[in-house]
């Protein structure tokens, strides 16, 4: 059975992870994705190469599924004309190239819109163009740091390690934002016939992802406590080692947690003097995790 985006054609000029993650998922949903690569290949193509595949690294292979690869040198007019010829056949044009460079090549928003007024034009950027960092280049580590995400992994003493999350999480979260935005613009196009210009900035996308729980007390005005979710940031929030393996627990509510403690041989944890006299939520979370161990 065809996917829900069957019949949608996407011209993909993105590279690295942010944009390709979005277009890979659009391809999963049934869209035809035409990936434009410069001569010599995408910059991500040769990263993490294996001996078995010297022309394609694992990350590129994962992000390249469902895509048709076309090599065009957009510095050459003949190849630019080939890309222009594709524009009327597509519904989405997506890239992560600087605006000035795309305008110079002849594929800025206004130029593409003139050829195909119903095109959904998606620009994946590091920082919102209206902000103080607009136009700057960004990568996953830079966005994890600028968003405050690198300040969230704590050591056993509760001190920040300033480490990055061990995944290209800012790239992929931003890629999902690009996916949602593209789908919304396609829905608008379906209803009205109008194309749209869509800008998806990494920093703003990843920060909004973190702030759901980590704005915490500062979500209120005036602030009622600190920024950063106490239970989420607990340094000993982890799986627990048992005699025959590891377990993860999330007892629901005080009653559920109390019953779980009883199973572990602690009959009245929440009425213990240590728990009752704990002054902060952080201390109580630490006591729970300590008891679990």
User: Looking at the domain assignment, is residue 229 inside a domain?
Assistant: no
What's residue 227's pLDDT?
86
Residues 207 and 240 in one domain: no
- What pLDDT shows up at residue 251? 66
Say if 220 falls within a structural domain. no
Q: Classify strands 245-247 and 240-242 as parallel, antiparallel or unpaired.
A: antiparallel
**Is 230 inside a domain boundary?**
no
Q: Are residues 171 and 279 in the same domain?
A: no
80 and 135 fall within a common domain: yes
pLDDT of the residue at 109:
99
Q: What is the pLDDT of residues 31-70, one digit of tens each?
A: 999 999 999 888 888 776 666 677 788 899 899 999 999 9
Domain of residue 256 covers 236-292
CA 167 vs. chain centroid, Å, equals 10
Catalytic residues: 171
CB atoms within 10 A of CB 22: 30
Please tell me the predicted confidence (pLDDT) of residue 71. Answer: 97
Structure confidence at residue 51 (pLDDT) = 61
Query: Are residue 43 and residue 169 in the same domain, yes or no?
Result: yes
Q: Are residues 149 and 264 in the same domain?
A: no
CATH number at residue 141: 3.40.50.10540
Residues 258 and 197 in one domain: no
If asked whether residues 125 and 260 sit together in one domain, one would say: no
Does 217 reside within a domain? no
C-alpha distances out from residue 96 to 16, 202, 204, Å? 9, 11, 16
In a domain, 222, yes or no: no
Do the domain assignments include residue 156?
A: yes
Same domain for 26 and 162, yes or no, is yes
Q: Do 78 and 111 fall into the same domain?
A: yes
Taking 50 as the pLDDT cut, the residues of the chain under it are none
Tell me, yes or no, whether 190 lies in a domain: yes
Same structural domain, 38 and 182: yes
What's the confidence (pLDDT) of residue 270? 81
Which of 239-272 are b and which e, b meaning 16 or more Cβ less than 10 Å from the residue's Cβ?
eeeeeeeeeeeeeeeeeebbebbeeeeeeebeee
Q: Which two tokens stand for residue 8?
A: 């949608």
CA distances from 204 to 19, 174, 177, 201, 211 (A): 15, 9, 10, 6, 10
Same domain for 159 and 50: yes
Q: Examine residue 108 and state whether it is found in any structural domain, yes or no.
A: yes
Do 15 and 150 lie in one domain? The reply is: yes
| Tally of structural domains, the chain | 2
């Amino acid at each position: 059975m065809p996917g829900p985006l069957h019949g949608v054609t996407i011209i993909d000029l993105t590279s690295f992870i942010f944009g390709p993650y979005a277009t890979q998922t659009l391809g999963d949903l049934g869209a035809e994705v035409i990936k434009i690569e410069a001569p010599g290949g995408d910059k991500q193509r040769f990263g993490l190469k294996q001996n078995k595949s010297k022309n394609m690294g694992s990350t590129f292979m994962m992000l390249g599924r469902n895509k048709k690869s076309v090599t065009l040198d957009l510095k050459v007019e003949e190849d630019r004309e080939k890309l222009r010829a594709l524009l009327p056949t597509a519904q989405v044009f997506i890239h992560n190239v600087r605006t000035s460079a795309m305008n110079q090549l002849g594929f800025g928003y206004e130029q593409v819109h003139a050829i195909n007024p119903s095109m959904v034009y998606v620009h994946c950027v590091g920082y919102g163009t209206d902000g103080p960092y607009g136009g700057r280049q960004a990568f996953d580590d830079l966005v994890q740091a600028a968003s405050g995400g690198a300040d969230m992994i704590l050591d056993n003493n509760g001190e920040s390690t300033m480490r990055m999350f061990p995944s290209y999480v800012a790239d992929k979260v931003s890629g999902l934002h690009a996916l949602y935005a593209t789908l919304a613009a396609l829905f608008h196009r379906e209803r009205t016939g109008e194309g749209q210009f869509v800008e998806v900035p990494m920093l703003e996308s990843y920060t909004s992802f973190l702030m759901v729980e980590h704005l915490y007390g500062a979500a209120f005005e005036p602030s009622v406590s600190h920024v950063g979710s106490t239970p989420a940031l607990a340094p000993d929030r982890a799986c627990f080692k048992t005699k025959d393996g590891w377990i993860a627990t999330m007892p629901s509510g005080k009653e559920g947690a109390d019953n779980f403690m009883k199973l572990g041989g602690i009959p009245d944890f929440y009425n213990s003097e240590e728990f009752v006299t704990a002054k902060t939520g952080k201390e109580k979370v630490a006591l729970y995790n300590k008891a679990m161990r």
